[in-house]
Amino acid sequence: MKARRRKVVIYCIDRDRLLVLRHPDHSPDAVGLQVPGGSIRDGEDPRAAALRELREETGRQDFEILGDLGEAEYDITPHRFEIQHRVFFLARPTAPLPERWPAIEDHDGLEPPTRLECFWIPLTDAHVLQSGQGALIGRLFPDDDASVA
């Protein structure tokens, strides 16, 4: 039986750009581009988890969560045999951030640290996100019924 895990996924937006992460120690073919996110701890409010994960993965403190965008489930098999119940959040930086910077996530000392590289991509390129992380990105764009034929 697959484990069920509660996760957060954060779309951090600044000037029509999306904050993404890459793992420089792994092939882009294996891990792709990701947005900040991670596990919701037992008893933790999902909004608090989103802010914590955003800070942990970027090494920066200056963010605010603007609201939640909804929920979705994702089967991450065969990477791990689990179903992730994801709560998606919208965030923004509250201070200027560089175009690109290195970060290290320490995982609370429970596993070896992970090197990350944080940078911005145009929001319109968010379709490249890996493992279903782009599932609710469409909620950031206003409906445009006039363009539907």
Q: What is the 3-state secondary structure (H, E, C) of the chain?
A: CCEEEEEEEEEEEECCEEEEEECCCCCHHHHCEECCEEECCCCCCHHHHHHHHHHHHHCCCCEEEEEEEEEEEEECCCCCCEEEEEEEEEEEECCCCCCEEEEEECHHHCCCCEEEEEEEEEHHHHHHECCCCCCCHHHHCCCCHHHCC
* Whole-structure pTM value: 0.92
Residue 148 is predicted with a pLDDT of 39
Specify the CATH number for 3-143; select among 3.90.79.10, 3.90.330.10, 3.40.50.300, 1.20.120.160.
Answer: 3.90.79.10
For 109-136, how does the pLDDT look when each residue is reduced to its tens digit (9 = 90+)?
A: 788 999 999 999 999 999 999 999 999 9
Residue-wise pLDDT for 66-103, tens only, equals: 999 999 999 998 888 999 999 999 999 999 999 999 99
Structural domain boundaries in the chain? 3-143
